[in-house]
Structure 1
Amino acid sequence: MAGYSGTVDRLIDAFGRLPGVGAKTAERLAHHLLKCPAEEALALADAIRDVRERVRHCQTCYHLTEAEHPLCGICRDPRRDASVVCVVEQPRDLLALEKAGTFRGVYHVLLGRLAPLQGMGPDQLTLPALEARVRSGTIQELIMATNPNLEGDGTALLVANRLADSGVPITRLARGLASGSVLEFANKEMLADAINGRQRF
């Protein structure tokens, strides 16, 4: 069966490799780009290029930041309480908590979670940087906000074990979040309750 031109097939294949994009959606996206004004398609290409060339991880917390700012906006904000650090798996989890609007501390992004079957072990996480922050003596509380599932709980346990002798209290989000859910999809009221009802790990 004949396909599209090689160029269109490559575009469909590229879209199909994105998470959550199936074959039909990839095909629809490719056709949309073929029909839309050239400026719109090229603006998308420019945005993709810019994000790859300009976006970096914050030197302190590993959230996303622009290349010209070594620290993210949260770490640069003097109104934030730098003595309370909330540990999350990914930048999107940080953004979900920020939407709740109740947490005024800072964050640490692990850039993953323990998932041995997917090749994610402790060495792939930003654990050394987190340990250094905690052992610097400036942290008064560490909040574990990993996702409430098997991998997230295992990651939180690993962090707690590594920092057990630090003297820093380690709390975790209250179980207002259903087990097996994902922070990114929780509503802001649920996240606010989870932050305010956190308890010792």
Structure 2
Amino acid sequence: MHYPEPISKLIDSFMKLPGIGPKTAQRLAFYVLNMNEEDVVDFSRSLMKVKRELQFCSVCGHITDVDPCYICTDKSRDRSIICVVQDTKDVIAMEKMREYQGMYHVLHGAISPMDGIGPEDINIPSLLERLKDENVKELILATNPNIEGESTAMYISRLVKPIGLKTTRLAHGLPVGGDLEYADEVTLSKAIEYRTEL
């Protein structure tokens, strides 16, 4: 089926999103076509705002509209603990449980030789800089419990071992092969509570 170019381009744009196949992209494109113009303009403004106004926190790497982010500027948080996560969505998942009150460090990925991602391709150097602060007493490695996450956790634990810093890993109440962002609050809470030293 041949569509006019604007619809065809919109379908192609939706297909660039994860989990969106041709049929879903087509449904979304025709839904947009039937929306009133004001809603379409608001939708496009929201997309542009996300790209133009959000950035990564210069301290922890979390997504923010002010730098440093609200977590890094919160004086009530425990600065002696840093929880290392793979993605900003993982910070949001951890914050939902409302039990962890330490700091974060977002790696923006995991070591994955199969995908050509090495330690230098993720946010490890700035983590090592943060660990020079004598106030940091514990590093929680909360990377995903899959091959890439485990490899990344082991790599970081070997890097920090000479420092003598207490290094823990989330307990394996989380399903192997799963992602933090999909875990429920109870599972995350138990995983933090029963973390073990590496």
TM-score range, shorter chain: over 0.9
- Which residue matches 1:136? 133
| Aligned equivalents of 2:133, 2:179: Cα separation in 1 | 31
Identity, in percent, stands at 38
* CA displacement at 1:110 relative to structure 2: 0.2
Q: Which amino acid aligns with 1:28?
A: R
Deviation at 1:163, TM superposition (A): 1.0
What TM-score do you get using the length of structure 1 for normalisation?
A: 0.96
User: Could you tell me which residue of structure 1 aligns to residue 11 of structure 2?
Assistant: 12
Partner amino acid for 1:80? R
What residue is the counterpart of 2:94 in the other structure? Answer: 97
- Which residue is 1:172 aligned to? 169
Aligned equivalents of 1:166 and 1:5: distance in 2? 62
Residues 138-186 of structure 1 show CA distances to partners (whole Å, capped at 9, x for unaligned) of 2110000000011100000111111111121000101111211111111
The separation in 2 between residues aligned to 1:6 and 1:160, in whole angstroms, is 52
Query: How many residues in Structure 1 have an aligned counterpart in Structure 2?
Result: 198
Matched AA of 1:54: E
1:153 aligns with 2:150: yes
- Taking the aligned partners of 1:140 and 1:23, their CA distance within structure 2 comes to 50
AA aligned to 1:163 is V
1:110 paired with 2:107, answer yes
Gaps of 5+ in 2: none
- In 1, Cα distance between equivalents of 2:116 and 2:46: 30
Counterpart Cα distance in 2 of 1:129 and 1:95:
21
Give the Å deviation of 1:73. Answer: 0.8
Deviation (angstroms), 1:196:
0.9
2:7 counterpart letter in structure 1: V
Alignment partner, residue 186 of structure 1 = 183
1:44 is displaced (CA, Å) by 1.0
In structure 2, distance between residues paired with 1:80 and 1:17: 38
d(CA) in 2 for partners of 1:183 and 1:82? 22
Please state if 1:62 is matched with 2:98: no
Aligned to 1:31: 30
Secondary structure of 2:68's aligned partner? coil
SS of the counterpart of 1:49? helix
Secondary structure of 1:112's match? coil
Q: What is the alpha-carbon root mean square deviation over aligned residues?
A: 0.9
Could you tell me how far 1:189 is from its partner in structure 2? 0.4
Moved over 3 A (4+): none
- The unaligned stretches of length 5 or more in structure 1 are none
Partner of 1:124: 121
